[in-house]
Amino acid sequence: MSDRSTDRTLLSVQDLRVSYPTPEGPREVVKGVSLEISRGERLALVGESGSGKSVTARSVLRLDSEARLQGAVRLGSQNVLEMTSGQVRRLRGARVGLVFQDPLAALNPVKTVGWQITQPLRLRGVGRREARNQGVELLERLGVADAARRFDDYPHQFSGGMRQRVVIAIAVIADPELLIADEPTTALDVRVQARVLELLSELAEERDMAVLLITHDLGIVAGFAERVAVMREGELIEAGDVDRIYGSPSHPYTRALLDAVPRIDDSPGRRLSGVSGPAPRRSAVGKEEQ
């Protein structure tokens, strides 16, 4: 029985706490994060390196075996934190796809890209020929020239931008409801960054697929996401519509992040602001601040 429902809320994270064992005892790195994503919505989770945004995203699929997770992560009516390991494995790729930051590290160097793209379909019983046809069609859709021939190439034969397209193909070929994109453009030049984000946006709209974009780069958020949530030191400190957050941020840390972004209308020689000092105390953050 499908868990797809008429309720537009797809992912609901409630009071998520994540800790890791250390010689000095458990260390909490995500501290009571709550957020929601609706079907077809694009939400950006932003913050500095070490803010806990990637750990939060990885917790949705329970990717870190050493992490201790508390709270609730609901995909539809199911609480992922209460699933068995087998149930979570079946969730990955089928209902939730994942695009990693480093496509070369995410790909198996001794398997062809075609083999890797078709695995999510083959594991679900799709025949070899049909899986190949769907994989080639998707690569063509993602802008890989001569896709039928390149299908049997290996990852090292692709450029960084093309490898990221392959990783996207692996993540979306099984038509997931949610795509988690963890810093998907960090290693790419600006032109390729823009094209990758454009492709993700097009795929999300065509498939009514929600996207959780993890990034430290506020410069790419405004043109992609509908809502943004800001994290610092494991806490969610501000969330809301992109226009509201960018136009009138309510939190000093959010204002500092925005001031650190270069702008096309900057005067020559303007010094970018830095972000320093301890994290301010958290304010209550719901799905969206008005």
Angle at the Cα of 68 from the Cα atoms of 67 and 70, rounded to 5 degrees: 135
Identify whether the C-beta of residue 73 lies closer than 8 Å to the C-beta of residue 60. yes
Identify whether the C-beta of residue 69 lies closer than 8 Å to the C-beta of residue 57. no
Q: For residue 54, what pLDDT is reported?
A: 93
The helix-helix angle for 190-207 and 160-172 (nearest 10°) equals 10
pTM: 0.85
Going by C-alpha positions, the residue among 76, 77, 78, 97 that lies closest to residue 87 is 78
Distant-in-sequence, close-in-space partners of 150: CB < 8 Å, separation ≥ 6: 113, 139, 144, 157, 158
The helix-helix angle for 128-141 and 113-122 (nearest 10°) equals 120
Q: For residue 263, what pLDDT is reported?
A: 61
Domains of the chain: 9-259 (3.40.50.300)
Lookup: tokens for 94: 């089928």
CA distances from 72 to 58, 63, 68, 79, 261 (A): 14, 15, 12, 6, 34
What sign does the CA torsion over 217, 182, 42, 280 have? Answer: negative
Using CA atoms, how far apart are residues 34 and 133, in angstroms rounded to an integer? Answer: 40
Q: For residue 274, what pLDDT is reported?
A: 54
Q: For every one of its 290 residues, what pLDDT tens digit does the chain have, with 9 covering 90 and above?
A: 344 444 689 999 999 999 999 999 999 999 999 999 999 999 999 998 889 999 999 999 999 999 999 999 999 989 999 999 999 998 988 899 999 878 888 899 999 999 999 999 998 899 999 999 999 999 998 889 999 999 999 999 999 889 989 999 999 999 999 999 998 887 678 888 888 888 899 999 999 999 999 998 888 888 899 999 999 999 999 999 999 999 999 899 888 888 877 665 555 555 545 555 445 444 434 444 43
Beta carbons within 10 angstroms of residue 205's beta carbon: 11
